Amino acid sequence: MKGAFAAAALAAMAGGANAINHRHAHELFAHKRSAEVAASTCGCTTYYTTTTGEATLCPPAPAPTSSSTSTPTPTATPTPELTTITEKLPVPTPEPITCPTPGTYTITATTVTLEETTTVCVAGSTHVPSGTHVVGGVTTVVDTATTVTCPVGVVTTLPDGIVKSTVISTEYVCPTAGTYTIAPITVTVTEECDVDFPVPTSYNPGTYTAPEQVITVTETDYVTVCPYTSSKKPAPPKSTQAPPPPPPAPKPKPAPKPAPKPAPKPEPEPEPKPEPQPPKKEKPSKPGHFDGTFGGNGDHAGITYTPYDEQSGSCKAGSQVDMDIAEIKKDGFNVVRVYSTDCNTLETVGNACAKHGVQMIVGVFVKASGCSVNTPEIKEQIDALSSWNHWDLAKLLVVGNEAVMNGFCSPAELKQLVKAVKGACTAYTGPVTVAETLDIWLRPDFKGAICDEVDYTGANIHPFFNPENLADLAGTFVKGQLTILDNICPGKKAVNLECGWPTGGQCLGSACPGEEAQAKALDSIRQAVGDRTVFFSWANDFWKEPGDLGCEQFWGTKKYFQNNH
């Protein structure tokens, strides 16, 4: 898929970047469209200063160097050439790399060492309805009247039409105590869309590494993004709060008097100085009974399951659910993923799983009605989970399914919801994650909010929604996406929570549906990453709307796995 960040200084402000892993949404598609950006005014004095590091939204990437290391064989479809790309950026922002032609590319490991704190602009994004909105800026809270100095991102248009984001330092007078947003951006949009804006982000001194990747490309000018991991944790983005005025220096304490000579006493030992704290280490995945793979038959252990009638969408009886789970177990699966607690899921599916020796991935589903723990639909699910007495069946707890991608939650709201669910489900001690697409995981605001709250990077990866993917390349594509996801949250492994190929609908470029195509795609995925994948889905859903490509009803894999277990 094409990267979520535009290469060089073509800031994402200028238009919508292509999302990685566009897929069928459970309720809607999230598209990015152009937005008219108008500069806002504020009462502050601005000083343009030189900042350390490249002050653009995405630092310019040098032209890739290519060298062929394999010879194409004469077939109807040319064999991709193996190409090595070496690129280096001055700061460890997520690195967009362009692969100019189809082929197999080795993106070499890249290391960036910072000797001093560096501040640059990275891309932030928010989903908005039609209308006028205020986005971005730096929010600060002060307890009294004061003047704060902080970096802000400013968008300028160069004479050649290129939109550039620059970090400047600004002083802002806060006349009274309160919360202030400095240098926000006002945007007016005519329809629902994602709006991008610059976010000043600071990186501490340290060594940052993007690992080597091998990807197979089937289109021209393919863009992939290489995230960095660090040996020292970067400072949090300064966009969240401007630094407060420095506190007054403490008064020096008088030296202690010596003990009297006539009655010598041991002098009190000087108060030990606190030892310097080592840099905070990246938070690794906590230990648990789930290690990022699903075991089972080795190449197809997990499957999504909803207890809905295939034709009407009504709730199935417990006896029907029991027969389904028995068949799922017979076909070699050890785990079923359920999305919510509706239709008495925890009882009907839970009882059947306990009977047939199948474990569960349970979840809290978020809809457009809200992302708060007090949203009635969410509260009902949390209450059901907190009183459930079969947590021994659960391998994983997933909060939300593409809730940020669909605009139902902001990253901060999803973070609070994850905390609330963990706090309510005290009987559960296993791992927790969320389910989003790769382009959402690559957003700095999302990583910053979610990485510390989850144990694994949970993603839905659908190769069908890449128009350049042939069915038999599906496994290579999914493996490449998982490699990127493995390096987003340091020390935390990625899991593929939704992955499949439809049997009906329309083609999307080279990606065409059909039973034969589904078999090729699932064979490829099983061979490459089957033990890390929850396949989507057990049955067709004829009660759903067909969707833009007419494929939403045809993701069932029951027939395939009955013949290929």
Do 225 and 311 fall into the same domain?
Answer: no
Q: What is the DSSP letter of 211?
A: P
Catalytic center residues? 402, 498
Verify that 219 and 306 share a domain, yes or no: no
> Which pLDDT belongs to residue 156?
61
Strand pairing partners for 398? 363, 433
**Enclosing H/E stretch for 519:** helix 515-529
| Residue corresponding to tokens 């280490």 | 281
> What is the CB neighbour count within 10 angstroms for residue 387?
11
Over range 365-384, report the average pLDDT. Answer: 97
**Helices 376-386 and 411-424, packing angle to 10 deg:** 30
Please indicate, yes or no, whether the overall pTM of this predicted structure exceeds 0.75.
no
59 and 187 belong to one structural domain: yes
> Which of 176-190, 451-465, 507-521 shows the lowest mean pLDDT across its residues?
176-190
**In the structure, how many helices (H) and strands (E) does the chain have?**
9, 26
d(CA 213, CA 202): 26
| Residue 419 lies inside a defined structural domain of this protein | yes
For the segment 66-124, what is each residue's pLDDT rounded down to a tens digit? 333 333 333 333 333 344 444 444 666 666 778 888 877 788 877 878 777 777 777 77
* 232 Cβ neighbours under 8 A, 6+ residues apart: 204, 205, 206, 207, 279
The yes-or-no verdict on residue 237 having pLDDT over 90 is no
Task: Kindly provide the residue ranges of all beta strands, DSSP E only, lying in 314-409, ordered along the sequence.
Answer: 335-337, 359-364, 394-401
DSSP per residue, 416-463: HHHHHHHHH-TT--S-EEEEB-HHHHTSHHHHHHHGGG-SSEEEE--G
Which of the four pLDDT bands, split at 50, 70 and 90, describes residue 23? very low
Contact at 8 Å (CB) between 265 and 259?
A: yes
Q: What is the pLDDT of residues 294-316, one digit of tens each?
A: 655 678 889 999 999 999 999 99
Average pLDDT over every residue of 148-153? 74
Q: Return phi, psi of residue 400, to 5°.
A: 85, 145
- Residue 383 or 124, more confident: 383
Cis geometry, peptide bond prior to residue 537 (ω within 30 degrees of 0): yes
Give me 544's structure tokens. Answer: 């759903």
Q: Which ranges of 191-242 does DSSP label H, i.e. alpha helix?
A: none
Residues 220, 315 within the same domain: no
Residue 406 sits in the same domain as residue 547 = yes
Q: Is 297 part of any domain?
A: no
Q: What is the mean pLDDT of the chain?
A: 76
Among residues 202, 230, 258, the one where a domain terminates is: 230
The pLDDT assigned to 160 comes to: 61
In a domain, 282, yes or no: no
Based on the domain organization, do 322 and 465 belong to the same domain? Answer: yes
In a domain, 256, yes or no: no
Bridge partner residues of 210 (DSSP): 110
Nearest Cα neighbor of 496 from 484, 478, 474 is 478
Asked if residues 121 and 9 have their Cβ atoms less than 8 Å apart, the reply is no
Give yes or no: residues 464 and 374 share one domain. Answer: yes
CA distance 469 to 517: 11
Q: Do 225 and 354 share a domain, yes or no? A: no
Within a domain: 439: yes
The residue whose two tokens read 């038959």 is 297
Same domain, 226 and 306: no
Regarding whether 357 and 220 lie in a shared domain, the answer is no
Residue 521 in this model has a pLDDT that exceeds 90? yes
Q: What is the pLDDT of residue 16?
A: 34
CA distances from 50 to 164, 523, 539 (A): 16, 54, 59
Task: Work out the burial of residue 197: count CB atoms within 10 Å of its CB; fewer than 13 is exposed, 13-18 middle, 19 or more buried.
Answer: buried
According to DSSP, the residues that pair with 434 across neighbouring strands are: none
Q: Are residues 76 and 197 in the same domain?
A: yes
Would 325 be classed as within a structural domain?
yes
Gap between the Cα atoms of 531 and 155, Å rounded: 45
Residues 194 and 309 in one domain: no
42-55: pLDDT as tens digits: 344 443 333 333 32
Look at residues 171, 161, 150, 122 and name the one whose alpha carbon lies nearest to residue 14: 161
Structural domain ending residue among the three candidates 188, 209, 230: 230
- pLDDT of 381 reads 98
Residue 293 is assigned to a structural domain of this protein: no
Return the ∠ at Cα 439 (arms to 438 and 440), rounded to 5°: 90
Say which residues have a Cβ less than 8 Å from residue 424's Cβ, sequence separation at least 6.
373, 382, 383, 385, 386
| Structural domain for 174, as ranges | 12-230
277 domain residue, yes or no: no
- Is the pLDDT at 15 greater than 70? The verdict is no
The DSSP letter of residue 293 is -
**pLDDT above 90 as % of the chain:** 46
For residue 239, the tally of other CB atoms under 10 A from its CB is 27
Which DSSP helix (H) or strand (E) runs through 105?
strand 103-107
CATH number of the domain at 448, please. 3.20.20.80
Last residue of a domain, one of 195, 230, 265: 230
pLDDT bin (cut points 50, 70, 90) of residue 250 is very low
Q: Which is it for strands 229-230 and 302-304: parallel, antiparallel or unpaired?
A: unpaired
**Residue pointed to by tokens 């919801």:** 417
Q: What total of structural domains would you count in the chain? A: 2
CA dihedral 488, 109, 471, 538 (to 10 degrees): -30
Q: What does the pLDDT average to over 402-418? A: 98
Among the residue ranges 51-55, 196-200, 285-289, 549-553, the one predicted with the least confidence is 51-55
